[in-house]
Each structure stands twice: as structure tokens, then as C-alpha cells.
Structure 1
Amino acid sequence: MGWLCGGLRWAGGRPALAWYEYGQGGSGNGGPRRAGRVSEPAYGSDIAFRVTGAERRCVGARRDGCPLRAVVPGRSSGGQCPECARLDRSRSVAADTVADDPRPYAVYLAWFGPGMVKVGITADERGSARLLEQGAVAFSWLGRGPLMAARRTEELLRAALGVPDRIPYKEKRAVRTSLPGRAERAREIEELHRRAGALEGWPESLERAPFEAVDHAGVFGLEGLRPMTGVVTELAPGGVVAGRLLAAAGPDLHLGTADGGVVVLDTRLMSGWELAGAASGAAGVGVPVRSVERGVQGGLF
């Protein structure tokens, strides 16, 4: 029996690492997920862990563990085997495979940096959780209504205004330390909100929302954040990650290292690894890291 990391979650507006417990199955390779817990790292606190498992295991689907505990590649951001990934995707609103969800949905505009605004939808009951998970620095609601009405509104903005529904994480990371002020962040969303509201073809069943900018820079700890010097590309057996938590945005942790650098750890790479706290004297990052300054693989710090 052991604890597998499930990556970063946002609970109550704060970052939290999820952990899954697996029991021993008949094959000795581990059975379904049995329980879970979370840990909430605070900004300014030290984080240090060691990879204790020999292999990275699939974290399962639909809140159930992978019955085979399949091995997954270290650089996979999903942390799932193909079968579990397909099972999750088969009931995914984001993948547009669900059309009969009776819950109300909200349409939003999310801002990640200058010229980086996307449109998306989320279950209204989730509030801003989806925006925190994506690392949206600022956002505003556009409207609320049935799922298909929200979908049509999303497509309307994509077709009429050229607003994308996805922005790569690497592009979001690249601009986090050089963001304009709060007023300028809000101004770009407000202009798109105005243009969207003037479009013809909004579904009648979608209740429009007035413009109101919500800013997450403070929640993420981005004010005064130093530029990153490296990005973790994967974890590895026996590897150590240690640093001071400077910021967290979406799935990313920005860690200040002992040598004065700032390394970004995408916590999706942690999913499925058995991890344990490292010794208090641990320092630096002992897993593969790509150097941002040189733009090439930086080896092990």
C-alpha cells in the first residue's frame, strides 16, 4: 500500500496537492483507489520530496484507480494509461462528448497575458475553480444557461471574434513575470466582452452577465515573481525536488532553488509517482530540467 500523488488541485481558492491510496490487489500490483487526502503548501514555505517509486503508475479515471496500475511515461502530462484516459474523455464536457448534462453552465473570457484571451465554459456550480486550474490571471463571466446554449455561445465567439478556446501552458508560463498592471489586464477583457455582447446570434436561453473583472495575480502569488530559469521535464526514480514555493498558477509550482534560480514544476508530472518527504537538508532539483536561459536541456541541477 502506498500514496500516489494526484497533482495540484485548487480548493477554496488555495493550491492543494492530492494524494491517492492504493491497496494490494490479487496480482500484488495494487488495486483500485481506496481513499484520498490533500496537503496545502503555503507561499514562502519549503517544499522537498523524493521519488520513492520505481515506476510511474496510472492514477485511474472517474475517481477510481486503474485496476491494472498501468505504467505511464514520465513525460506524460496526463498521468493516465490510454484506457483510463479514454474513459475520462467519454464523459468530458471539455472534449464535447456530453450533450445531456442538465446542470447550468457559465461562459467566460479568461486572460493569461497580453493578447492571450480564451473563451470557455464551466459548470456554474464550480464557480471560478476551472479558471484557477487553467492559470487564468484575470477573467470575466459572459453568461449562464443550458449546456448547449453555452456551447453555441463559445463557438460564436470563436467564429466571429477569433477567440481561441485553448492556450498552451508553455505560453502562459512565459509571460507570468512580465504582466501589465491590473487595470490593463481588465481593459483587454472588457473590450472583448463589449464586442462579444454586440454580436448577433446569442442563444435566447443564455442569461448574459455584465462585465466584472476578477483578478487572480494575488491568489497565484505573481506580484514581484522572479523570471523562471528552468522547467522540470519529468520526474525519475530517486530524484529530489526541493525549493521555496514562490507562486502557484494552474498546475504549476514556481520554486526558488538554493542556487538562486526559479524552477517551474508542472504538478501533472507528479501524478502517479510514489513520493515521500525529503530530508530537511535537501537542496536543489535532482530531476531532468530544461534551462530556459539556454533553451536546451539543462541536465540535472
Structure 2
Amino acid sequence: MAQAWRCSGLRWSAHGPELVWDGGRRSALTWGKRVAFGVAEGGVRTCVGARGHACPRRAAVPGRGTGGRCEECARLDRAHSVAADTLADDPRPYHVYLAWFGPGMAKVGITAVERGPVRLLEQGAVCFSRLGSGPLMAARRTEELLRAALRVPDRVPYADKRTVRSALPASAAERAAELADLHARASALPGWPESLDRAPFRPVDHAGVFGLAALPAAVGEVAELVAGGAVSGRLAAAAGPDLHLETTRGVVVVDTRLMKGWELVPTADTGELTVPVRAFRERGAGTQEGLF
């Protein structure tokens, strides 16, 4: 029987994207690499735990959830979380940034200065620029200022991000144009916290890092993994948690967060998928779930 592995998710570093496995093993991902794995027959997706601790109940979790956690572990994971506004006394300095994912898709956010650009890579930001840096609460107030005054959201759904990656403007200057305008408007607003050190507009482009040049349009996305199912294809691009795989059916996006909690095994590299896949064009336009 083939050895089963549990995936901890996709991680970004200075070396590019890597799949991380329980026990610390890492699989570097490069363009053109063949990606093939199956889900163990009779397997059940179990909670991945929280904050470095295993789920005490090894609870079963739905295949379509991207968190991979039961309700109890999800609550624990969000405790003392900056994202959930439960860590107001964090002494670390924070960057406030503007991120762009495609035409009309920009957001404001914050990330610890010590993390550098990793948070932006994790979110799949095609282009970003910092607005400033300072204490956590000053960064939060700046984020809220932009949301209220300019109606800039602090979240962009991944489902929206992945549908536009193959149709982005060709040049870095074009990709940064919306951010340049938004940065200028934000900088002109009154009411910035005095403790925030402002930053000039300096766009950072991730299109090359993600492999988005000449990326074929995706035909759909994996909806969930299932016991006995398999995923196989050639890596065309990776952005945020998403892998864009060239398969026998065309390019299909695999959200690697769906891999957490499953026992995964080696499988034949056929370029085929035997898991549920939904087409982008069908989202919100009916009840049909399958593509193939």
C-alpha cells in the first residue's frame, strides 16, 4: 500500500511556492512540473487542528471548506488573531498596503513588517504598494479610513481573483495604474494617524513570480476532493493558494487549501481529474455543479 501524506498547504518564500507536508517535508513547485496525487480510498477529511495542536476529536470536516477545521478549532485558531481583531496589543510594527488582483479588484490591508511581501504572495496580489507603517492600531485606523472614505474593501474573494489572471494587462505599468490612482487619492485624505509613517508609491509586481505571462484561461476550478479521486496536470502558474494545472480538459485551478485534512497518495500522471470541478461561467447561474 502506498504511503499516505497529509498536506499542510502552499507556502511562499524567497525561493517561490512550495507544498508543505506534515513532518516538515517540502515540495518545491516550478513551472512545467507535473503535479499528481490521489485521495486515499475510503478516506475521510479530518480537522487539521489549530495553532500547532492536533484536533482532540479528529473531527470530520466538509470537503468544500477551505479552512479544513472543525468549529471548535476554527474558533481557537482565530483567538489572538490580528485578522480577527483579537490581538490589539501586538507590539510589532505593521505595514498598510494596497493590493491589486485584476481590473477593478483592489483592497487595503495590513501585515506585520517582519513578514515582508509574504502576505501579499499568499493572497495572490498581482501588484501592490505600501501606504505606510506604524503601530498596529494606527495601521488599523488607516485601513478603516480608506474603507470609509474611498470604499476600498479589505477583502476580495479568491473566486473573483482567479477568473481574471489570464486576462491581465500586459505591462507592469498598466497593472500598477489603478493602484497609482488609489494611492494618490488615499494620500490626499485628511485624518491619517500621526504615528503612521507614510510611504511613497512604489509598486511591486508579482506577475512573473506567479508565472502569469501567457497563462491560458482556466476552464474551471476543483470544487472539492473526494475519497478515491485524483488530480493530475502540469503546473502552469501559482498565485496565492491556487495552482493552475494544465490537464486533458484544459487549465483547472486547484485551491491547495482543499488538500488539508486528507490522506494523499501518489497516483499516475495522466493529466486527468476524477474529482468534482465547476466551471467559472456557472458560478451563481444555476444549480449545476459538475463540469466534466
Normalised to the residue count of structure 1, the TM-score between the two structures is 0.91
Q: Percentage identity across aligned positions?
A: 65
Does the Cα contact within 8 Å between 2:234 and 2:271 map onto a contact in 1? Answer: no
Q: Which residue of 111, 127, 130 maps to 2:119?
A: 130
Does the Cα contact within 8 Å between 1:48 and 1:278 map onto a contact in 2? Answer: yes
Does the Cα contact within 8 Å between 1:13 and 1:129 map onto a contact in 2? Answer: no
How far off its partner does 1:95 sit?
1.2
Deviations 1:198-251 (A, max 9, x none): 111111111111110000000001110001112100000111100000000111
- 1:214-293 mapped onto 2 (5 Å cutoff): 214-259=204-249, 261-280=250-269, 282-292=270-280
Deviations 1:149-195 (A, max 9, x none): 00000001111111100011111111111111321211111111111
AA in 1 matched with 2:7: C
Aligned to 1:43: 31
Deviations 1:120-148 (A, max 9, x none): 00011000100011100000000010000
| Structure with greater contact order relative to length (CA < 8 Å, sep ≥ 6) | 2
- Runs of 4+ residues over 3 Å off in structure 1: 292-296
Aligned to 1:298: 290
Aligned to 1:179: 168
Count of aligned pairs between the two proteins: 284
The 1:5–1:135 alpha-carbon spacing in structure 2 relative to 1, beyond 3 Å, is same
Aligned to 2:20: 18
Does the Cα contact within 8 Å between 2:44 and 2:227 map onto a contact in 1? Answer: yes
- 1:68-147 mapped onto 2 (5 Å cutoff): 68-147=57-136
The 1:46–1:123 alpha-carbon spacing in structure 2 relative to 1, beyond 3 Å, is same
The whole-number CA distance in structure 1 between the counterparts of 2:202 and 2:86 is 30
The whole-number CA distance in structure 2 between the counterparts of 1:271 and 1:11 is 19
Q: CA RMSD in A?
A: 1.5
The whole-number CA distance in structure 2 between the counterparts of 1:195 and 1:293 is 34
Q: Which residue of 8, 20, 42 maps to 1:6?
A: 8
The whole-number CA distance in structure 2 between the counterparts of 1:239 and 1:2 is 14
How far off its partner does 1:13 sit?
5.0
How far off its partner does 1:39 sit?
1.2
How far off its partner does 1:297 sit?
2.5
AA in 2 matched with 1:298: G
How far off its partner does 1:276 sit?
1.5
Does the Cα contact within 8 Å between 2:246 and 2:271 map onto a contact in 1? Answer: no
Deviations 1:47-73 (A, max 9, x none): 110111610011111122212221111
Q: Which residue of 155, 170, 195 maps to 2:159?
A: 170
How far off its partner does 1:294 sit?
5.6
Normalised to the residue count of structure 2, the TM-score between the two structures is 0.93
The whole-number CA distance in structure 2 between the counterparts of 1:15 and 1:210 is 29
Partner of 2:202, secondary structure, is coil
Partner of 2:162, secondary structure, is helix
